[in-house]
Amino acid sequence: MFSHLTDLLRQEIETVKQVLTANDWFRALPVIITVASPPYVTCPAARPGSMGSECLLANYMFAFPDTRDWRIYDHCAALTRLYSAYEQFVGSLVKEYLVLLPALYPAYADLPLALKKKHCAGVGHILKIMGSGKRYKRLLDKDIARDLAAGLIGCSPYTLLPEAFFAELNNLRFSVLCQLFLNLGCKHRTNS
């Protein structure tokens, strides 16, 4: 059901691994070039009007950052990208789950209590802060209020606003993720 989302997440993780591998390879180039030829060598052009790639790298290898600093930068960039992919995955998962709920619970009143409470509280929070920034710029207060009212008076199918479950900005640490899924009506299971 949600396997396409895990496939996208896997692709993002694989891309991060490939970038780190490529950067490791680039970090090794100055050593290879230094051993192979003296720096700032004058090379014959590979084709008329161009410089050979070995010469180009040899001439610029001293612009490479310190290996340790470069690795730190790579790791920070990789962690930032991995977190972004994780956050996108969770957001997409929640959106798709919320689209399925009207088929599972035909009436808004039938939804799990925790989900209804969080949805109403999140909608209220969004309505309160709308217009104060860019975060909810694409949303219209009349549409939000209409969709909530339609659900509350029993219209079917109803629409749940995904942003309502992310209204408070929190990093998706494990405890926050667990609370998010509890708010969505998922029960905690223990392995017994």
Answer yes or no: is pLDDT of 5 > 90: yes
Q: What mean pLDDT value characterizes the chain?
A: 82
Segments making up each domain of the chain, as ranges = 89-192
Residue that the structure tokens 């899924």 belong to:
181
The CA-atom distances, in angstroms, between 117 and each of 108, 142, 184 are 11, 20, 10
Q: pTM for this one?
A: 0.75
Taking 70 as the threshold, does the pLDDT of residue 158 lie above it? yes
Give start and end residues of each alpha helix (H) in the chain.
3-36, 53-60, 67-104, 113-129, 141-152, 174-183
pLDDT for the residue 8: 93
pLDDT (mean) for 98-103: 93
Give the dihedral sign, CA 189/87/165/109.
negative
Tell me the pLDDT band of 55, cut-offs 50, 70 and 90.
low
Give the pLDDT confidence of 41-50 residue by residue, as tens digits: 444 444 445 4
Task: Locate 92 and state its tokens.
Answer: 């997409």
Residue 25 and residue 46: Cα distance in Å, rounded?
23
Four-CA torsion 130, 131, 134, 139, nearest 10 degrees: 60
Q: What are phi and psi for residue 189, nearest 5 degrees?
A: -115, 140
User: With pLDDT > 70 as the criterion, what percentage of the chain qualifies?
Assistant: 79
Tokens for 152?
């509350």
At 157, give phi and psi (nearest 5°): -80, 155
pLDDT at position 109: 93
The single-letter DSSP state of residue 186 is: P
The more confident residue out of 131 and 78 is 78
